[in-house]
Amino acid sequence: MPDVKIMVCHGTSGLSAGASEVYKKFEEELGRQGLLDSCELIKTGDRGYFRDVLVDIIHPNTGRITYQNVKPEIVPELVEKHVKNGEIVKKHSAGKAYQDFFAGQKRIVLRRCGEIDPENIESYLEDDGYKALEKALTQMKPEEVIEEIKKSGLRGRGGAGFPTGIKWELCRTQETQPKYVICNADEGDPGAFMDRSVLEGDPHAVLEGMAIAGYAIGSNEGYIYCRAEYPLAIKRLKIAISQAKERGFIGEDIFGAGFSFDIKLVEGAGAFVCGEETALIASIEGKRGMPKPRPPYPAQKGLWGKPTIINNVETLANVPTIILRGGDWYASIGTEKSKGTKVFALAGKVKNTGLVEVPLGTTIRELLYGPGGGPAKKMRKIKAIQIGGPSGGCIPEKLFDTPIDFDSLVEAGAIMGSGGLIVLDDSTCMVDLARFFLSFTSDESCGKCFPCRLGLKKMLEILNKIVSGNGELKDIERLENLAKSIMDTALCGLGKTAPNPVLTTLKYFREEYEAHILEKRCPANQCVALLKFEVNEERCTKCGRCAKVCPENAIIWEKGEYAKIVKEKCIKCKACIEACDFMAIE
């Protein structure tokens, strides 16, 4: 065994910040110093903490130390001091924010992300990999597997929260053959990126979960439907599938138990609606991804008209651990009706962004001020969160003590969704946010049914009217009426839930709508048509940041002077508003 282990994080975020250059530099430096044999240098996946390149060094003298913002230039110093002499290089080691980010987490799904090499099956096998599949195939009957999942209380992590065990059971009892297992890796919700990280950091866990699901329902064929926007996830899945086949964990007669299972990868072509299960099936069949009415449910008539279960990536990644450690163990985590942990994708106006896995029932406040570290900018105040993507809703600050579980969120007007959690502060305009979601859903509406195709467009028009300063009070009523009809009549989940962002912002932030309509004012200084682009000298601290970021040099500023915007040159790009910490530009 090598004495020292060096792990370089190769997730999408690490790679964009130059992880491969850092890795190369380590190789070069270790080679130069003749240390390659006594060190293990590996590439890990994404651990969900977005601070450029993360490197961990495990040395017998120091234990495990994490370094952040690692650049190739500092690699020789790390090798010389830490790898060779066992001394921590304090100035580069990850600080308190990093510790806080991980302190309150309980990682089950993300356990191996950032810990193992996702492109090397050995790395997975060393960490209990495929042991759950072996246990299921050799020691359990399919019914017992389903029983264990039911006992765990696991509910679908993709959006609706349907109990996984019951879905499997419904499919198992169908007599038609063949049956299919589909892994929904079409993570289309803007603001959610946990599935990408799991696929990039621990792809075998998903394959193992699928094989167990196949055994449980009596299926020999699985599909992974992964969106095309995730090239790295697709690459790693391909590697994982071929390695698992080579080692016999996928294929004929797995573990000599007489069970065969094959997995195919299908690349999506870019359509949000394909996250809806019937649309996803149509897309795998090579058609336009348009939803169908349910029932019949896919568990009865799915892919090619055969019984099919569709589970989300995070759901499937939970399965091996549940089988190994037991349903009772899993059910001991979380709340009465929402068991286990959930991964949240924390982004927006918060200090620490990234993936946070916590037991269900954790309050919003604990999440934001624990791992999240509070607001991104000291001068700003967090006013709400948006959870559940375009189908979800906003929850205002006064409700931050709400526990995050399936039912409490619905009570507050939002949904769990896939767990995308965007933090909003006083510089976010809630009307503009609602408009953003409506422009998203009306763009992505498949066009099949009338309420969604035209209703959302109409709602968007009204919102555009309000943010451009032409709104009237009656528009609020029109929005509410349209929202209700669309929710009552649209065919699929996309349409039925699309008005939610408008309804929840109206419920909690009606005064912002009224300010736009009655005072022609955007309280958050975001809606271009309502902005004057003038510097408020009472707030301006004469720092000059606005002048530095202006792409048109339209801001006059000299040291010790108030900034001044030359209106003729200003293109209203809002770069200055974004940069000003003091909200001095109105």
Partner 1 sequence: MIEIVSKILENYKDDGSLIKILQQIQNDLGYVPKEAVDEVSRKTGVSPSQIYGILTFYSQFRLTPPGKHTLKVCLGTACHIMGGHEIFEHLKRKFKIMDNETTEDRLFTLTKVRCLGCCGMAPVIMVDDKIYGRMDISKTERLIDDLR
Residues that bind partner 1 (CB under 8 A): 12-13, 15-17, 48, 50, 187-193, 195-196, 228-231, 266-272, 283-289, 345-349, 353-355, 386, 389, 420, 422, 424, 428, 433, 436-437, 440, 443-444, 446, 549, 551, 571, 573-575, 578-579
Nearer to partner 1, 227 or 516 (CB): 227
Please report how many Cα atoms fall inside a 13 Å half-sphere around the Cα of residue 198, on the Cβ side: 35
* Smallest gap from residue 63 Cβ to partner 1 (A): 27
* Smallest gap from residue 211 Cβ to partner 1 (A): 22
Nearer to partner 1, 148 or 200 (CB): 200
Instruction: Give the N- to C-terminal CA distance of the chain in Å, as an integer.
Output: 62
Q: What is the DSSP letter of 350?
A: B
Strand 221-226 to 259-267 pairing: parallel
* Smallest gap from residue 395 Cβ to partner 1 (A): 15
343 phi and psi angles, rounded to 5 deg: -90, 130
CB-CB contact of 464 with 529 (8 Å): no
Please report how many Cα atoms fall inside a 13 Å half-sphere around the Cα of residue 290, on the Cβ side: 10
CB-CB contact of 284 with 266 (8 Å): yes
* Smallest gap from residue 391 Cβ to partner 1 (A): 12
Nearer to partner 1, 95 or 447 (CB): 447
Rounded Cα–Cα distance for residues 99 and 93 (Å): 11
Nearer to partner 1, 88 or 579 (CB): 579
Nearer to partner 1, 444 or 512 (CB): 444
* Smallest gap from residue 440 Cβ to partner 1 (A): 6
CB-CB contact of 190 with 440 (8 Å): yes
The residue among 462, 472, 461, 586 whose CA lies nearest residue 528 is: 586
* Smallest gap from residue 52 Cβ to partner 1 (A): 9
* Smallest gap from residue 282 Cβ to partner 1 (A): 9
What kind and span of H or E run contains 165? helix 164-172
Place of tokens 């994982």: 240
Nearer to partner 1, 190 or 218 (CB): 190
Nearer to partner 1, 48 or 156 (CB): 48
Q: What is the DSSP letter of 389?
A: G
Per the DSSP assignment, residues forming a β-bridge with 224 are 183, 265
Please report, as a single letter, which amino acid is at residue 233.
A
* Smallest gap from residue 102 Cβ to partner 1 (A): 14
Rounded Cα–Cα distance for residues 322 and 136 (Å): 11
* Smallest gap from residue 423 Cβ to partner 1 (A): 9
Nearer to partner 1, 129 or 393 (CB): 393
The residue among 394, 428, 431 whose CA lies nearest residue 516 is: 431
CB-CB contact of 479 with 459 (8 Å): yes
* Smallest gap from residue 256 Cβ to partner 1 (A): 31
Whole-angstrom CA distances from 347 to 65, 105, 275, 393 are 26, 16, 21, 15
* Smallest gap from residue 359 Cβ to partner 1 (A): 22
Nearer to partner 1, 288 or 532 (CB): 288
Please report, as a single letter, which amino acid is at residue 457.
K
Q: What is the dihedral of CA 531, 535, 541, 543, to 10 degrees?
A: 90
Nearer to partner 1, 158 or 268 (CB): 268
Nearer to partner 1, 39 or 347 (CB): 347
* Smallest gap from residue 270 Cβ to partner 1 (A): 4
Within 10 Å of residue 560's Cβ, how many Cβ atoms? Answer: 7
For residue 435, give both structure tokens. 């408009």
Within 10 Å of residue 141's Cβ, how many Cβ atoms? Answer: 11
Give the DSSP per-residue string, 470-533.
---THHHHHHHHHHHHHHHH-SSHHHHHTTHHHHHHHHHHHHHHHHHHHS---TTS--GGG---
Nearer to partner 1, 152 or 441 (CB): 441
